[in-house]
């Protein structure tokens, strides 16, 4: 029955799904008339899906800065991800990318589908970038420079240890968190806590690790060369080669390795909660909170799930719509993290070699949610999952 069957089984997701579809249609009709801004926002809708909706809820100045920042980093990521580009060509482009964003006629052909269009017509993004206020430009340039250098480093270096893994995720996404925080501070809409840099990095690491876990099969099957981001220090405890995880004869070891990876990601949740709890602007809060809830929901689905090594594992559209519809305050975040951590906890097998660590980290998450004092109001709202 597919999607229709899911809707019949989850009737409480029908209304949020309809609201989300209507919001997407409305957002597409609000594309700015200027060619460069029109390109930026229409491309944003294609490459970020529901995330573009919360970007568009920001005030005009910050919205434009975040939109351009997102597209610049998406372009940088497209170059890194394209395994058909020779290393001697890719490295200098990654390292110099922060300078190209100031060049109105620069473009670089790579990627596929909407990402190829983004790269071929990157001059529109450059034009939009140069209309941003100087403080925004400086933040975007700094993060782009640091990210390009970090990506270049890991083109030539394997992810061997957990420290390597954390460093790679810092370059790929921790810097995104830092960059967004810099944009929020530039806008004067947020003050943030003294340790905002550490917390911002954790926000990025939690999302990146979730994506790396979820995308194992797509990355390992990449042609002409596999993308391998799972650290050898973890997968080496279970198999001889990373690609061995996808074979059915290794199912038990593969799932144990998967659970180890999920457990590693859970360590960032406390920092993520602290960061979100300090936010005061409602639109900025939703921009940050929705991806975090989607991440814990995705980890709950991936955990102990051998299907991850056979095909795609992701949250159903109706559940995504429900998360988008219900996430408005920090109380909603605590409820969502509690619900998804409970879902994950029910899947923990006591015989799993990492079960004690997994349960310890989940119990810490649940305690944090309970200590918030909002869970007693659960009768006002049904479960997220």
Work out the burial of residue 352: count CB atoms within 10 Å of its CB; fewer than 13 is exposed, 13-18 middle, 19 or more buried. Answer: buried
At residue 67, the pLDDT reads 97
At residue 52, the pLDDT reads 85
Fold of 35-157: Farnesyl Diphosphate Synthase (1.10.600)
pLDDT digits (tens, 9 = 90+) for 212-224: 999 999 999 987 7
- Which band of pLDDT confidence, cut at 50, 70 and 90, is reported for residue 378? low
At residue 257, the pLDDT reads 98
Query: H-type helices in the chain, by residue range?
Result: 2-9, 14-28, 35-48, 51-56, 60-81, 87-100, 113-120, 122-129, 134-155, 162-169, 175-187, 196-214, 216-220, 232-235, 251-266, 269-278, 282-302, 317-326, 330-345, 355-371
Q: Note the pTM of the prediction, 2 decimals.
A: 0.93
At residue 380, the pLDDT reads 45
| CATH ID of 199-385, from 1.20.970.10, 3.30.1330.40, 1.10.600.10, 3.30.2000.10 | 1.10.600.10
pLDDT digits (tens, 9 = 90+) for 45-63: 999 876 788 898 999 999 9
CA distances (Å), origin 243, targets 19, 264, 347: 41, 20, 25
At residue 7, the pLDDT reads 58
- Which band of pLDDT confidence, cut at 50, 70 and 90, is reported for residue 1? very low
- Which band of pLDDT confidence, cut at 50, 70 and 90, is reported for residue 32? confident
Residues of the chain within CATH 1.10.600.10 domain(s) are 35-157, 199-385
């Amino acid at each position: 029955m597919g999607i229709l069957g899911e809707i019949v089984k989850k009737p409480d997701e029908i209304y949020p799904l309809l609201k989300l579809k209507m919001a997407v249609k409305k957002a597409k009709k609000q594309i700015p008339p200027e060619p460069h801004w029109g390109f930026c926002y229409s491309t944003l809708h294609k490459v970020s899906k529901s995330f573009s909706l919360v970007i568009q809820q920001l005030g005009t100045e910050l919205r434009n800065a975040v939109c351009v920042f997102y597209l610049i980093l998406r372009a940088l990521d497209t170059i890194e991800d394209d395994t058909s580009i020779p290393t001697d060509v890719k490295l200098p482009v990654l390292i110099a990318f922060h300078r190209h964003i100031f060049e109105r006629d620069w473009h670089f052909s790579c990627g596929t589908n909407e990402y190829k269009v983004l790269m071929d017509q990157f001059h529109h993004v450059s034009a939009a970038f140069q209309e941003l206020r100087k403080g925004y430009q400086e933040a975007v340039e700094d993060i782009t420079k640091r990210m390009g250098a970090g990506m270049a480093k890991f083109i030539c270096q394997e992810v061997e240890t957990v420290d390597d893994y954390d460093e790679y995720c810092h370059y790929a996404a921790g810097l995104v968190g830092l960059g967004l925080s810099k944009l929020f501070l530039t806008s004067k809409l947020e003050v943030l806590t003294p340790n905002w840099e550490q917390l911002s990095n954790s926000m990025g690491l939690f999302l990146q690790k979730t994506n790396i876990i979820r995308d194992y099969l797509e990355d390992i099957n990449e042609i002409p060369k596999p993308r391998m981001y799972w650290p050898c220090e973890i997968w080496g405890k279970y198999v001889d080669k990373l690609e061995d995880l996808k074979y059915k004869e290794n199912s038990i070891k593969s799932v144990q390795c998967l659970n180890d990876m999920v457990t590693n990601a859970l360590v960032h949740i406390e920092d993520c909660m602290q960061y979100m709890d300090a936010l005061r602007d409602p639109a900025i809060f939703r921009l940050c909170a929705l991806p975090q809830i989607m991440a814990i929901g995705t980890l709950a689905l991936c955990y102990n799930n051998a299907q991850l090594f056979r095909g795609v594992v992701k949250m159903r559209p109706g559940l995504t719509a429900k998360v988008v519809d219900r996430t408005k305050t920090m109380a909603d975040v605590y409820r969502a993290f509690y619900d998804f951590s409970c879902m994950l906890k029910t899947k923990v097998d006591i015989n799993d070699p990492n079960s004690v660590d997994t349960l310890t980290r989940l119990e810490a998450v649940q305690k944090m949610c309970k200590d918030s004092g909002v869970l007693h109001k659960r009768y006002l709202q049904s479960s997220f999952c």
